[in-house]
Structures are given as structure tokens and as C-alpha cells.
Amino acid sequence: MNKFLITLATLVAFSLSGLAYAQEDTKVKVGGLMQRIAGMGDNVDGGLTEVFTRFVIGTSTTVDNGWTVGGSMSIQTAAATGGAAAPSTNSMYIQTDMMTVNIGNTVGALTSLIPAASAVVPGGGVDAGYQFNYDNGNQATQGVTLREAYYAMSNAKIDIDLPAVNGFTVGLTYTPSQEFGPTVQARQQAETTASHGETIEAAFQYSGELEGLSYVVGVGIITGNSQTINAGSANLTVNNDLNAVSGGLKVTMGNLLLAVGGFDNGDSYGASTDAIQSAHSGYSLNAVWNMGNISAGIGFHHQEFTRGTAGQAAATTLTGADAGNVHEDNFTTVGIGYDMGGGVSTYIQLSTNEHSDGDLATTEVNPQVLFAGISLGF
């Protein structure tokens, strides 16, 4: 028995020694973001909330052949939906001289390579969506507000990023099924779901300088098979395939930043049998003046959506409206930001929101939202 215990202790000692040696070059980073947002306005209820409070842990190491292998996971709270916490990203990557391969719940090529023009106005423009905590009356949002389909969504995927060459960067992303999210690891059992199935993204970015200005431009497409509406039924074949395009441009001239971006999801959220096809598109125009720690900006953002025949028939609201009605949202944003240093930033933004369901008989509610926030990155 004593010999057995001595042998076991020796094996454990060797195992722990080997484990410590294997992890000697491993780097671990822990970080996150805390924030609070206060809002009020016309035709809205004011209050305190947060959107992106999260905890992030990442690690990386160098393996024997020189490759870098790492991974990261973020846990994000969701106060607006009851305070539940869930992984928003959870992926690993392998970096070589030829490419970086990301595997797991992470963003795709369009999100990482196309400049997010709708996010540059202090207070997050409309991309952060802080104003939508107080005004949830958007009429033309389908999928993601003012963005291409599956923007910033971390469905399980394989993402390949090629190294930059002469300012050009290319990315490719393959998602076997958009139903596999950070907290969902099986086929949806519901009879209706807005998720598409297998999708492919391709995007490129170019960064350059020209006579005193610098710019970043990116364009990309995302395609895939039909929606998984009526999952498991023969009706699946009549849905339109996913087919969307997106682009963005940021130009910096001294203290001035100009940004423009747009998307067109086409008829991706409709059915091939529709007499009136669906449509979804939008754009953003922005200007920001940076003065050291202080920045001021203004932006205009537009999106429009047509439900189409099948979508209007399935809608829980406006069921008596025309399937061809063009639903529209316009947002004018004016914001001022102040970077306090030490990872602390503050902002105040006024967002004027205009909504239309395309029906002249409907009385619209068009709120103004004034909100301010403070965030701490650590």
C-alpha cells in the first residue's frame, strides 16, 4: 500500500510539474466594462439602465511550431431583460503567418472589417442603441437596427482573417447554422424562428492616407440558405435565401471625422411566393469633431422595411395594413463626449426619433430622448 501511495504521489508530482511547465508562457488577461445610463424625454418614461456591462477573460500561448493559440469569453449582463447573465462570446483562435482562424461564438467578417459609421457620434450614435431603452417604437427594424443581417451576432462560426497586405485586409466567415448561439446549442423546436441556416460572409477593408487625410473603407456580403421559419416543414423551401450587402467609410482630416455607411438586406426576410416582396435597407451620415478629451458630433440615420405578403399576414400588429407599406425610422443624434482618463468616459446625447408605419391613418409617436452615461473599462 505504501509503495502504491509513493508511486501515486510521484506521478502526481511529475504531472503537476509538467502542467506548470506547459503553462509557463501562457498569458491571461482579465478585463471588462461597467456602465450606467440615465435617460428621459418626450413621450417616454425616464430611468436608469445599462446595456453592455460585461466581464471578459482571455488567454494565449505559443505552441511548439510557433503558432499562437488563444481564446476569450465574455459574460454580459442584460438588465433590460431581467438581469440575466449569459456568454456573449466564447471562442478560440489559431494565429499563423498565413492567417488567423477564429472558432466558436464570435463576430464575423462584416462586423470586424466594415467601419461602423452609425457608432461614431458620442453616446454610441444609434449603433449602441442606448436611446432604444426608452423608445422601443421602431417600425423598420428587422434583425438588427440600422445594420445588415446578423451584425455583431456571435452565432457559432469559423472565421478566417488574412493578414493585411498594402493596406488591404480580407475576411471569410462560415456559419453552419445561425440557430447555434452562445446559449443555444441545438435545433430550435419552435414552429417559427427568424434564424437562417448555413451562411457565408466575405468582406474586405482598405486603409490608406491621401494628402493630409486618412481613411478606412470596407464592403462585404453575407449569403445563405432560406430562413428556418416553420422549422422541419415543407414550407421551408418557399422562403427567400439570405442575401445582404453592407459598406462603410471613415475619413479623418485633422480633428474632423466623417463617416458614412449603408446596408441592403434585400428580400432576405420574405418568401419567394410573395406577391409583394419584402425589403430592408438603411444608411447613416455622421460628423464628429475631436478636441483632445472632448468630442462633439451629429448624425442622421435612416432605415426602411417592407414586410411583404407573408410577413404582413403573420404580423401581430397592423394586420389590416397593406403588405407593401414602407415602414420608416429616422434618427437625428447630437452628442458630446468627455474622456476622463483612467478608462472612464462620459457622454450626453439627444436623439430625435421619427417613426412611420406607412399608413396615413395612423397617428405616429415621435419621441425625443435625452440620455447621459458613464462607463469604466478595466
C-alpha–C-alpha distance, residues 123 and 126, integer Å? 8
Per the domain annotation, does 10 fall within a domain?
no
What pLDDT is attached to residue 78? 64
**Predicted confidence (pLDDT) per residue in 347-357, tens digit:** 999 999 999 98
Is it the case that residue 318 has pLDDT exceeding 80? Answer: no
What pLDDT is attached to residue 10? 34
> H or E stretch including 329?
strand 327-341
> H or E stretch including 47?
strand 47-49
C-alpha–C-alpha distance, residues 270 and 221, integer Å? 18
Average pLDDT, integer, range 256-264: 98
Residue pair 116/67 in contact (Cβ under 8 Å)? The answer is: no
> H or E stretch including 312?
helix 308-314
Whether this model's pTM surpasses 0.75: yes
Residue pair 267/278 in contact (Cβ under 8 Å)? The answer is: yes
Of residues 363, 285, 282, 374, the one with CA closest to residue 326: 282
Residue pair 75/57 in contact (Cβ under 8 Å)? The answer is: no
Answer with the residue of higher pLDDT: 254 or 272.
254
Torsion of CA 181, 183, 186, 192, to 10 degrees: -70
Q: Is 317 helix (H, G, I), strand (E, B) or coil?
A: coil
Q: Structural domain of residue 231, as residue ranges?
A: 25-377
Average of per-residue pLDDT values in the chain: 86
Q: Comparing 123-127, 149-153, 245-249, 318-322, which segment has the lowest mean pLDDT?
A: 318-322
Q: Could you tell me the CA-to-CA distances from 207 to 195, 250, 286, 290, 324 in Å, in that order?
A: 33, 10, 19, 20, 40
Of residues 175, 167, 138, the one with CA closest to residue 369: 138
What pLDDT is attached to residue 321? 72
**Predicted confidence (pLDDT) per residue in 287-301, tens digit:** 999 999 999 999 999
Amino acid at position 325, single letter:
N
Q: Comparing 2-6, 27-31, 85-89, which segment has the lowest mean pLDDT?
A: 2-6
Of residues 77, 73, 97, the one with CA closest to residue 85: 77
Per the domain annotation, does 204 fall within a domain?
yes
C-alpha–C-alpha distance, residues 51 and 144, integer Å? 15
Average pLDDT, integer, range 127-150: 93
What pLDDT is attached to residue 259? 98
Per the domain annotation, does 5 fall within a domain?
no
What pLDDT is attached to residue 12? 33
**Predicted confidence (pLDDT) per residue in 167-220, tens digit:** 999 999 999 888 777 776 655 555 445 668 889 999 999 999 988 899 999 999
Per the domain annotation, does 96 fall within a domain?
yes
The residues, ordered by sequence, that sit 6+ positions from 331 with a Cβ below 8 Å of its Cβ are 126, 131, 146, 299, 300, 301, 302, 351, 352, 353, 354
C-alpha–C-alpha distance, residues 110 and 116, integer Å? 10
Per the domain annotation, does 105 fall within a domain?
yes
Is it the case that residue 378 has pLDDT exceeding 60? Answer: yes
Q: Comparing 252-266, 275-289, 350-364, which segment has the lowest mean pLDDT?
A: 350-364
Residue pair 18/10 in contact (Cβ under 8 Å)? The answer is: no
What are 152's three cell numbers? Answer: 455583431
| Domains identified in the chain, total number | 1
Amino acid at position 262, single letter:
G
Per the domain annotation, does 241 fall within a domain?
yes
**Domain containing residue 290: CATH number:** 2.40.160.10
What pLDDT is attached to residue 239? 80
What pLDDT is attached to residue 22? 45
Kindly tell me the burial class for residue 148, based on how many C-beta atoms sit within 10 Å of its own C-beta (0-12, 13-18, 19 or more). buried
Answer with the residue of higher pLDDT: 374 or 16.
374
Per the domain annotation, does 17 fall within a domain?
no
Per the domain annotation, does 13 fall within a domain?
no
